[in-house]
Amino acid sequence: MKIFKNRHSLIKEISKKKDISFVPTMGSIHRGHLSLIDKAKKESSNILVSIYVNPKQFSSIADFKKYPRNLIKDIKLLKKKKIRYLYLPNKKDIFSLKVKIPIYLDKFSQKLCGRFRPGHFKGVVDVVNRFLEIIKPKSIYLGIKDFQQLILIKSHIKKNKIKTEVVSCPVIRERTGIALSSRNIRLNKNQLKIAEEIYKFLKLNKKKIFIKNLNNKKLDIFNKIKKFGVKKIDYLECLNISTLKKPQHINEKFNLFIAYYIDKVRLIDNL
């Protein structure tokens, strides 16, 4: 595995390779990230993983500083996976790049997390756009757990006619049903149990929650979820995953989208 901390040396190494499969991460590598790598390896032997905790997508300095980091462990895991390249840029290396492609932020950015995290998705699309200009990958692998992020990156790529395929990868869960996330590290045993109970409640009551939402009785569901030990709920929405609009009929294909806090840890999921 070749490790690069400078974009110029990375570009020199990969500029002639046309089959780069790119997996962007913020580190604290877990089985969810590894599943993206496994899928990418089916398409190409030239896998490039980036680890960069992007300050522009955090709503506060405190949250940025608390984001879990374990670079030594990450490198060991990636070496075991035998990936070809690892890119570890710093802020200057990424943001000193004069980008040629403008950021496109679809109006979907104003829904769900966008209502509660101003500037977050602009920061996400900005940094991904920079990675795409540097790496010029054939494909980029993104998890469906971060559904809104996935859709916005896909929209940006399509709008700007960037020649990179977006490959959507399924949510990877613990046996308990909890969606894997780097932030889970910050939860203790009791808090993980709360997250497990919330997942089970949502899965069991998906149709009931749809009906409550349709009839403007969302508060009933909020109160039930808070009884599990949730400090705060940003949103609980039903969205048709094809139209990205609120479904009007129970037979529509829709997902539940939730963002909530257990103590100071914000978790998202969709199912």
What's the Cα-to-Cα distance from 204 to each of 40, 122, 198, 199, 209, rounded to whole Å?
33, 34, 10, 9, 10
In a domain, residue 175? The reply is: no
Question: Could you tell me if 98 and 90 are in contact, meaning their C-beta atoms sit under 8 angstroms apart?
Answer: no
Looking at the structure, do residues 154 and 47 belong to the same domain, yes or no? yes
Give the whole-number percent of the chain exceeding pLDDT 90: 92
Find the catalytic residue in 33, 120, 156, 249.
33
Q: What is the mean pLDDT of the chain?
A: 95
Q: Number of structural domains, the chain?
A: 2
Looking at the structure, do residues 78 and 210 belong to the same domain, yes or no? no
**Is a pLDDT exceeding 90 seen at residue 121?**
yes
**Is a pLDDT exceeding 90 seen at residue 144?**
yes
The Cα 24–Cα 33 span in angstroms is 9
Closest residue by Cα to residue 168 from 152, 182, 183, 179: 152
Give the whole-number percent of the chain exceeding pLDDT 70: 100
Residues 6+ apart with CB under 8 A from 91: 55
Rounded mean pLDDT of 69-95? 97
Looking at the structure, do residues 150 and 225 belong to the same domain, yes or no? no
**Is a pLDDT exceeding 90 seen at residue 213?**
no
Q: Edge-to-edge strands of the sheet including 2-4?
A: 2-4, 85-87, 47-51, 21-25, 139-143, 165-169
Answer with the one of 169, 190, 207 that is the final residue of a domain. Answer: 169
Looking at the structure, do residues 116 and 235 belong to the same domain, yes or no? no
Rounded mean pLDDT of 144-171? 97
In a domain, residue 174? The reply is: no
**Is a pLDDT exceeding 90 seen at residue 216?**
no
Residues 6+ apart with CB under 8 A from 219: none
Please say if 33 is a catalytic residue.
yes
**Is a pLDDT exceeding 90 seen at residue 75?**
yes
Rounded mean pLDDT of 213-237? 93
Give residue-wise pLDDT tens across range 231-255. Answer: 999 999 999 999 999 999 988 999 9
Give residue-wise pLDDT tens across range 33-73. Answer: 999 999 999 999 999 999 999 999 998 888 899 899 999 99
**Is a pLDDT exceeding 90 seen at residue 154?**
yes
Looking at the structure, do residues 80 and 43 belong to the same domain, yes or no? yes
Range(s) of the domain holding residue 204:
182-270
